Amino acid sequence: MFGQLSERRMHLIRWILTIAWLLIIASLFYDPWSPQFTVPNHPWSPLRLTDSCISVQGNCLVEQPYALGTTVFWGAVVPAAIFILLVFGHEVWRRICPLSFLSQIPRALGWQRQFKRENAKTGKVRYELAKVKPDSWLGKNYPYVQFGWLFAGLCGRILFFNADRLILALWILTTIAAAIAVGYLYGGKSWCNYFCPMAPVQRVYSEPGGLFSSSAHTSDQLITQSMCRTVMPDGKEQSACVACQNPCLDIDSERVYWDGLSKPEESLLRYGYVGLVTGYFVYYYLYAGNWDYYFSGAWARQTDQLATLFSAGFYLFGQAISIPKLIAVPLTLGVFTAVGYLLGRWIEKRIRIYSGDRHLNLSREVIRHRIFTICTFTIFNFFFIFGGRPLVALMPLWGQYIYDLGLVLLSTLWVYKTWQRSPDLYSRENLASRFRKQLEKLQLNVSQFLEGRSLSDLNTHEVYILAKVLPSFTREKRHTAYKGVVREALEEGYVDSSSSLEVLQQLRQELGITDDEHREVLEELGIEDPQLLNPDHKRSLENQIRLTGYRKSMERLMLLQKQQFDNSSDTLLEQNSAQVRALRRQYAINPQEEAWILDGISPETGNLRRAEFLVAQLPSLIFCYRALHQPIIQEHQTVLRLLWDSITHKKELIIRTILGTLETFPNDANAIAIAQQLGQLAPAVLVEALESENWSDRLSLEILQCLHPSQGQATVCQIDYSIEEILRSLEPLLDDQNPLMQAACLYITAQLNLEKSKAIARNYSLQTSSLVQETAKIVLSLSESSPPLTAFPMLEKVAHLFNSDFFHRMHGETLVGLADRAEVRAFTTNEVITEAGDTCRELLLVITGSAKINFYSQGEVVRVEHLKSGQTLDELEVLAHSDSQNTIIADSEVTRILAVPVDAFDAFLDRDRDFARRVLELESRQLQKFMRSFQSI
């Protein structure tokens, strides 16, 4: 809820808190006023000293009136921070923390370290903001650095600055100076993310979220939680993120929590912190021999703290142990930290074993998360048994009870909220939120189903249920919505092209999206935005936010300068070079990012560049298509058709995308040049494309003239490609995510170069697709080149299914599933395949040779129909589960039939909507053909 407060208001709150903090620090140097409230004879002050003896190692502590700076700091400020973290979450603390605020002074003044970058080709000089590199020593080990500093700070409290006001002031000022120095050395919130000793404490109490904190992954806000932000002159807030850490706690704390949950440093942080805090408070008892020393608060006003450094560090059973306090403190805290860590790891291991023995089906992440939750609950309440207790003890007894019960109640509610969280639930909510946005974009009529609620009011399960019952949510809109989710997930780095299939599995199951449909979506996205699937272009949510902030700043600068988008890039860079340089530094923008952003600001330029890129992709596809039509491999057409179809489909998608771009530039010179290149490169595919979708009416006459094939020139296909050229054309297809493509490429490669195919097959041995695994295994076992297709049972069945009219262009996973259940049978001439009266338990497909169907009427053959390879038999009877009315006989010396069991066929009809629709279309045509033949009699 506090995350919704405006930055202007939070800025004022930060100033107030920072000034108050600085006043406390100033009071540590000079405070002549507060000691009067602690004198023994003060008439009303609850802080006045009493005559009671506070025993420390058997002796009464001598006390004198004291200044309140240390008591207020340790007794109120520090416990308040812990309370805020658990109850309100990091998003409040990171926005009000004075130390974080002060670390941003160099950024506010524009005094930050930068690296000079000079382009060797153009000579242009750029300055890049320094950031901690993820692969640097600090980038890899910062959790240990922060925990080590925390450990040193707690040791320092007991030894040096619990009560010594001067040392405490110097320690705080040193920390402030370090924060400001880090703010100069590194951009963003590098102090908070990589150095601050409070960061481990913050993570323990505020992750995966505070009791009243917001959820960034389900929010529609562009600026979430404690994200770095700035206020523009018009009062609007804008992201100031420079992606100093990925993932970033300030953008989505729960995402950071789940991403790091399994890392070894997390167990040290959680379990070690429990031991460290326990050891810190227990040491007061080990030192003084009683609890009065701590609960009286005498440790915060002891004037001779430094004088005790070499005195006895332990006092047990009435006996001082002569280990210097200087050694005893780090020894005690170190032992407790180690015990806490080892005990936590042991408990975690035992619970995992218990969960496995009882078959509780809890993942390692969920087990660790719940142990962490218990640790946080325990240490929070343990901390507040001691934290602030010297001041709380001054309250009336009923006030103390309310205080304690309130803390227990809030922490219990936090456990209730946190216990049910899991990585899977977070992922489902994340995807449901993205899907909800896509539904809103489709503007579907959902009011009749929501009873006054909006889409944003629906929970995760309700969103998916709504999508299933909406009559207007057609297959095309489902495809569009899923495509939007995948695009957004790729842009934010939530998934990449290789992990998207697994990560988005839950969403596909809810929407009935098949794996093959997912691959089609990736293919379309890769054509629409080629950089989206580029593995070298590392994407992340943090990076996207940084680039978005820069883009909005550039747009605002253009608006202020009244520049037009069509010529804005060069003009802006020339006329506003100082402002642009400042923005580059602020957002750490490199030349490639700037070019990409300027294309986004000027969509016309970006679209033309994308069209140029797509035109450049066509030659490689054309080369591949021609290579796969060489006479040397035409005997393998059954498998080659798998590759031809895919290449043709990609060319169609590319050409359709380019034509869509050209439609928006009817008379642009660059568009005409692109049209000319396209007309020369792909005349055959282009003619078919122009005849569909009314492109002739949508494109300008000048562009249409350029698109037609060159007059007087015929398309020529070389037929003298070498084996090496054919193999080279297959290389890009081997990386295709479609298992049918991979298996087909592997098979064709084995026909041309067995050794090379074996080298490729070794990399495919770990593939998840059973088709690819089997093909790779067979290739590795071959001893002779040019193996027949019959040596690859699964691939043969899939290829024949694909080549049949009935199953052509079906989803790959459907074909693989049917092939896995199907059986190949061989028959000789005049051998009966099925007889009239047999129950149709299988769908039959002729794959080799031919067959004939004898149609009977009153016991006599009235008609004979001949079937060739690729045709199906008795499909109507299979669909109706009826008996065969005709006899099917093999009509060649060798007739091979692929038999698909009817129960497998029915199962895939239920599972694959596209398959069911395809079957319905084919059978409708068959019925229409039959009716026309009947009418003609």
Q: Which of 628, 815, 638 is nearest to 725 (CA)?
A: 628
Given a cut of 80, whether residue 658 has pLDDT beyond it is yes
Given a cut of 80, whether residue 693 has pLDDT beyond it is no
When pLDDT is cut at 50, 70 and 90, the band that residue 712 belongs to is very low
Q: Supply 440's token pair.
A: 């809103």
Kindly report the backbone phi and psi dihedral angles of residue 224, in degrees, each rounded to the nearest multiple of 5, phi listed first: -110, 155
Contact predicate 779/746, CB 8 Å: yes
Mean pLDDT check: name the lowest of 22-26, 393-397, 446-450, 536-540: 536-540
Nearest-5° Cα angle at 846, 842 to 851: 105
Which helix (H) or strand (E) segment holds residue 119: the answer is none
pLDDT at 565: 46
Contact predicate 198/81, CB 8 Å: yes
Question: How far out from the chain centre does Cα 539 lie?
Answer: 10
Given a cut of 50, whether residue 711 has pLDDT beyond it is no
Beta bridge partners of 804: none
Q: Rounded to an integer, what distance in angstroms lies between the CA atom of residue 798 and that of residue 791? A: 13
When pLDDT is cut at 50, 70 and 90, the band that residue 858 belongs to is low
Q: Which of 691, 687, 677, 689 is nearest to 708 (CA)?
A: 687
pLDDT at 571: 59
Given a cut of 90, whether residue 341 has pLDDT beyond it is yes
Nearest-5° Cα angle at 674, 673 to 675: 90
Contact predicate 819/794, CB 8 Å: yes
Per-residue DSSP letter, 907: H
- Residue 348: CB atoms within 10 A of its CB come to 19
Per-residue DSSP letter, 719: S
**Global pTM value:** 0.80
Amino acid identity at 221: Q
Q: Rounded to an integer, what distance in angstroms lies between the CA atom of residue 744 and that of residue 829? A: 31
- Span between the terminal Cα atoms of the chain, in Å: 78
Whether residue 739 is preceded by a cis peptide bond, meaning omega within 30 degrees of 0, is: no
- Report, in angstroms and rounded to the nearest whole number, the Rg of the chain calculated over CA atoms: 37
Bigger pLDDT: 674 vs 169: 169
pLDDT digit string, tens, across residues 486-497: 888 888 878 877
Given a cut of 70, whether residue 115 has pLDDT beyond it is yes
Between helix 325-357 and helix 264-288 the angle, nearest 10°, is: 130
Q: Supply 627's token pair.
A: 């290579």
Q: Rounded to an integer, what distance in angstroms lies between the CA atom of residue 264 and that of residue 258? A: 13
pLDDT at 932: 65
Nearest-5° Cα angle at 569, 567 to 572: 100
Q: Supply 489's token pair.
A: 């997930």
Residue 630, CB-side half-sphere exposure with 13 Å CA sphere: 21
Kindly report the backbone phi and psi dihedral angles of residue 449, in degrees, each rounded to the nearest multiple of 5, phi listed first: -100, -15
| DSSP per-residue string spanning 131-187 | ---TTSHHHHHHHHHHHHHHHHHHHHIIIIISS-HHHHHHHHHHHHHHHHHHHHHSS
Which helix (H) or strand (E) segment holds residue 709: the answer is none
10 Å CB burial of residue 170 (0-12, 13-18, 19+) is middle
Contact predicate 470/520, CB 8 Å: no
pLDDT digit string, tens, across residues 44-92: 898 888 888 999 999 998 888 999 999 999 999 999 999 999 999 999 9
Kindly report the backbone phi and psi dihedral angles of residue 320, in degrees, each rounded to the nearest multiple of 5, phi listed first: -75, 135
Bigger pLDDT: 884 vs 629: 629
Q: Considering Cα of 694, then 699, then 705, then 710, what sign does the dihedral take?
A: negative
- Find tokens 């300068």 and name the residue: 561
Kindly report the backbone phi and psi dihedral angles of residue 863, in degrees, each rounded to the nearest multiple of 5, phi listed first: -160, 145
Amino acid identity at 66: Y
Mean pLDDT of the chain: 84
- Find tokens 């070079």 and name the residue: 577
pLDDT digit string, tens, across residues 730-783: 888 887 778 888 899 999 999 998 899 888 888 876 666 788 888 889 999 988
Q: Strand 823-827 and strand 125-129: pairing?
A: unpaired
pLDDT at 84: 95
pLDDT digit string, tens, across residues 173-187: 999 999 999 999 998
Please enumerate in sequence order all residues whose Cβ is within 8 A of that of 39, keeping only pairs 6 or more positions apart, or say none. Answer: 48, 49, 65
Q: Strand 832-834 and strand 886-890: pairing?
A: antiparallel
pLDDT digit string, tens, across residues 286-329: 999 999 999 999 999 988 899 999 999 999 988 999 899 999 99
Q: Supply 484's token pair.
A: 């939007």
pLDDT at 175: 96
Bigger pLDDT: 374 vs 894: 374
Question: How far out from the chain centre does Cα 537 lie?
Answer: 15
Q: Supply 659's token pair.
A: 């034509």
Q: Supply 110's token pair.
A: 């524009």
Nearest-5° Cα angle at 340, 338 to 342: 65
Kindly report the backbone phi and psi dihedral angles of residue 60, in degrees, each rounded to the nearest multiple of 5, phi listed first: -75, 135
For the chain, the residue count is: 937
pLDDT digit string, tens, across residues 781-806: 988 888 888 899 999 998 888 888 77
Contact predicate 415/445, CB 8 Å: no
pLDDT at 575: 55
